[in-house]
Amino acid sequence: MTVRSDFDQFYKLLIKDSIFEKKINPYSGIDSLQKFGTRKYVESGLSAPEQQLYSSFENNPGKALVIGCSSGRECVYLTKKGWKVLGIDYIEDLLKIGRNYAQQLGLNIECQNFDILKVEESSFSGKKFDFIAFTIYTLIYPKKKRQQILRVLRNHLTDKGKIVVICRGRDPEIRIKNRFLKTALKILKPSYEDGDYVRYISILHVFSEDELKEEVGLAGFCAKEFAAGDIYKYALLEKV
């Protein structure tokens, strides 16, 4: 990354939380509905890396939770495989579209409006899941918050349950390299962590494999397998 794009990230990371975050939800706009809300997208199935990770367990259907389900791409896929699926998302318009498609396809999918940042032990009426697709792990920050959510989800997971998390987005290795800008950022924004970056108006975190292993390890999980495509990278977690 050049100093110029480092500076661009420095600037965006500094103003992001204070100016944009509380006012604009990047998933509430028309772009998001057009991207995630089409029937073609919803029925597009899994990407190659997702398929690689799901293949070890998908043919043993049980109860699944899809976090950040949008209009239901993963929900539709899993339900067709015999899973009983609960999809959660905090954008009601996307959920509405998802419920409609499920009905048209004759699939029984439960979709709930829920913000995963607010998850607690009493969420999901004490249900245990055999699989959790945590499709927005990379969007949660800081590390402490991700770990807190993982610890709660651990108690909502059966002993042999599995979680698939997304751990890298469209920009494979965006990290601020310039030491001066990094130090300044850490002083001006103490919540900044190496690997955080802004894409459009979302803050994301990009993980190295070692970093993810260490982070999930402290929350009681082991990262068993990684799978990467051209764009996204995922990890399969199991309880330790």
Ligand X SMILES: C[S@@+](CC[C@H](N)C(=O)[O-])C[C@H]1O[C@@H](n2cnc3c(N)ncnc32)[C@H](O)[C@@H]1O
Share in percent of the chain as helix, strand, coil (round to 5): 40, 25, 35
Rank residues 1 and 33 by Cβ distance to ligand X and give the closer one.
33
Nearer to ligand X, 171 or 214 (CB): 171
Whole-number minimum distance, CB 82 to ligand X, in Å? 20
Closer residue to ligand X (CB): 115 or 210: 115
Contact predicate 83/62, CB 8 Å: yes
Q: Which residues pair with 164 in a beta bridge?
A: 133, 236
Minimum Å distance from CB 94 to ligand X? 5
**Judged by CB, which is closer to ligand X: 9, or 71?**
71
Minimal CB distance to ligand X: which residue? 68
At its nearest, how many Å lie between ligand X and the CB of residue 240?
Answer: 26
Residues at the site binding ligand X, with contacts judged by CB under 6 A: 27, 36, 68-70, 73-74, 88-91, 94, 115-117, 135-136, 139
> 3-class DSSP state for residue 59?
coil
Contact 131, 156 (CB under 8 A): no
Q: How far is CA 198 from CA 28, 56, 191, 201, 203, in A?
A: 17, 33, 14, 6, 4
Closest CB 147 distance from ligand X, rounded Å: 16
In angstroms, what is the minimal distance from the CB of 133 to ligand X?
7
Q: Which is nearer to ligand X, 10 or 83 (CB)?
A: 83
- CA dihedral (90, 93, 94, 99) in degrees, to 10, reads 110
